[in-house]
Amino acid sequence: MPELDRFEVSSGAEVPESSEIEQPVETTVSSRIMAPDQSDDVGGGVDRISGLPDDILRCILVGLPSTADAARTSVLSRRWRHVWAHLPELALRYGNRVDRLRAHELIDAAMGAYSAPTVRRLEIATPFGSRDVTAERASSWLRFASRRLAGRLKLSLPHPDLAPDKEAEILLPVCERVTAIDMEYVGRALRFQPLPAGGSAFAALATLRITDARVDGRELEHVLSSRCPRLKEVVLEWVSFSLRDGDDDAAAVLSIRSGSLQRLQMASGRELGGVLRVDTPELRVLTLRRISCNDAYIAAPKLSELYWFPLFYVPSRHRFAEAGRHLRRTEVTTGSPSMALMNRFNIVDELKVTLSVPQGARQYEKLLEDTNRLSKCEVLVLKFEAVKHDLKPIMVHLLQQCAGIRELVVEFPFKMGDYPCKLSRCPCKRLENTKTDRIVLHSLEEVRVKGGGEADHKAELVRMLCECHAAFKKKVSFSVRGGAHTRGKIRSFVPPDDRYDITVWE
């Protein structure tokens, strides 16, 4: 049988060979499933699988890695020729092994040959560096989705260099039945088709993800606020926003408004300037990474999880106009403006503190200042990064601030740098800062020690906590990641006691 590069389907359109399979399809059918008294076009008989109803055959083909793999089954017999074109899902993925000049043609051919009136999932991925995927061609694929798709859409256009029409715009049309849109590595301006009067352009849309694109801020605000009544999640990664024409940059506004949105994640490709407004009465989770703006107003009364990149949060200019004082989860980093969040939210169920403390007495004192008023929490996660001071006084201070914790998680880096502190007069060397008798851990039930780090650090941490056993009201379970060396160190430092149970795992 000749090697397949392209082959004809019933409509006469050409369907591509899968990028993931370069060898010819084997057409021999096992004799165990062959009906001996029948014959097919290739030679020998009609296999019993081909005799199954179309619905079952489609269930078989939809489990293949891609639509091109499913289309290749057309060579088995005439019985298979039409089956792939009625699959409920289309996965048109082409990797680097496919000729970059052909991928767009093969995607066009597959869409032209597709016969089912509705597709429930459409995934299109072009090869890295495919220069012939123009904005108009990508827009045509989106028009196909607007007509036929009732489910999830993913469009991936990875590129090191854009096609000659790099300034052209990709147009996202009205998609009434699409439930999720994921557009990554767009690289161009993404525009929304002018919307019809009345009704919802994206009536079923629950998730919108856009990566690496330029988006008109006014269009985005209009679509989110009035055309997506069921929207739950928005992710805008490395998106550059064009704001209102004619406005001074300092006064320009990017507004995210939605009455249904529950999760918002943003990372801008360039400085916003101006003002960021988030008006979302149902928002639960807010993640702002690398969002640099002059002012920010967050109106989210149901906010429960907050992740604001430490260096980009400015307490005096970034305000929570409507939000409670209780969070379920948040993260802060010592030495950064994010520590001011502890003044805004006084209760955090799970609090993660990243500890970054350079060498020097003033840096150590700044750590104490930053952590003097940690929010009340049940789970305290301490992540050590480049901490160049003694471990014990830092832990003593932190545990004094969080006496009511139920669970303590400590994450060590692979190396602790210059630990212990090399400055003889540093406050971390003072004896009174290492005493554990003032620590109260009546609620502590579980301690987990994670990450890399030397065995000495982990063993010292466990020993220090066990020194507080008089304050334990319940038996405390220790789970420590480490090998035989860590286990031996802990055993040498910590005598057996029925107040705690220590497990070392690799």
Q: Which domains does the chain have, with CATH numbers?
A: 1-84 (no CATH), 326-506 (3.80.10)
Q: How many other CB atoms sit within 10 Å of the CB of residue 5?
A: 10
H or E stretch covering 357: none
pLDDT at residue 24 above 50?
A: no
- Residue 195 per-residue DSSP state: P
The type of residue at 425 is: R
Cα distance between residue 133 and residue 125, in whole Å: 11
The gap between the terminal CA atoms of the chain, to the nearest Å, is: 53
**The most confident of 53-62, 188-197, 301-310, 407-416, by mean pLDDT:** 301-310
Query: Residue 270 half-sphere exposure, CB side, CA atoms within 13 Å?
Result: 10
> Is 140:123 a contact under the CB 8 Å cutoff?
no
| Sequence-ordered alpha helix ranges (H) in 188-235 | 217-226
pLDDT of residue 18: 36
pLDDT at residue 419 above 70?
A: no
The model's pTM is 0.81
Average pLDDT over residues 468-476: 76
pLDDT at residue 464 above 70?
A: yes
Helix (H, G, I), strand (E, B) or coil at 69: helix
pLDDT of residue 297: 94
Average pLDDT over residues 415-425: 70
Cα distance between residue 305 and residue 433, in whole Å: 33
Q: What is the mean pLDDT of the chain?
A: 80
> Is 238:264 a contact under the CB 8 Å cutoff?
no
**Is 424 or 29 the better-scoring residue by pLDDT?**
424
pLDDT of residue 15: 41
Cα distance between residue 174 and residue 298, in whole Å: 29
pLDDT of residue 40: 44
Residue 72 tokens read as 């290749």
Residue 374 tokens read as 């940690």
Instruction: Give bridge partners of residue 298 from the DSSP assignment.
Output: 278, 320
Q: Please compute Rg for the chain using Cα positions.
A: 30
> Is 259:228 a contact under the CB 8 Å cutoff?
no
> Is 490:462 a contact under the CB 8 Å cutoff?
yes
pLDDT of residue 278: 96
Q: Which residue has the tokens 């405390």?
A: 476
- How far from 176 is each of 45, 115, 204, 264, CA to CA, in Å? 46, 20, 6, 22
Instruction: Give bridge partners of residue 119 from the DSSP assignment.
Output: 149
pLDDT at residue 145 above 60?
A: yes
pLDDT of residue 38: 38
Which residues, including other chains, have CB under 8 Å from residue 63's CB and lie 6 or more apart?
A: none
| pLDDT 10s digits, 148-198 | 999 999 999 887 655 556 678 999 999 999 999 999 988 889 999 887 666
What is the pLDDT confidence band of residue 103, given thresholds at 50, 70 and 90? confident
